[in-house]
Amino acid sequence: MAYSQPPKKAGLPREVLKWLQSLDLSFFPKNVRRDLSNGYLVAEIFSWYFPRDFHMHSYDNGASLATKQSNWSQIERFFEKQNISLLKEVIDGTIHCKPGAAELLVQDIYTFLTNRRIQTIQRVEQDFTDKAYQDQLPMVARATASVAIKSNLSLSEVIAEPNIITNQRKVLAIIHRQIEQRKEERTQDPKRFNVKPTLGEQAVRLPPLAYQSDPNLQMNTSQAAC
Spell out the domains of the chain, with CATH numbers in brackets: 14-114 (1.10.418.10), 130-191 (no CATH)
**8 Å CB contact between 134 and 119:** no
Q: What tens digit of pLDDT does each residue of 93-121 get?
A: 899 988 888 998 999 999 999 988 876 55
**pTM exceeds 0.75 for this model:** no
Q: How far apart are CA 63 and CA 44, in angstroms?
A: 16
Q: What tens digit of pLDDT does each residue of 26-48 get?
A: 999 989 989 999 999 999 999 99
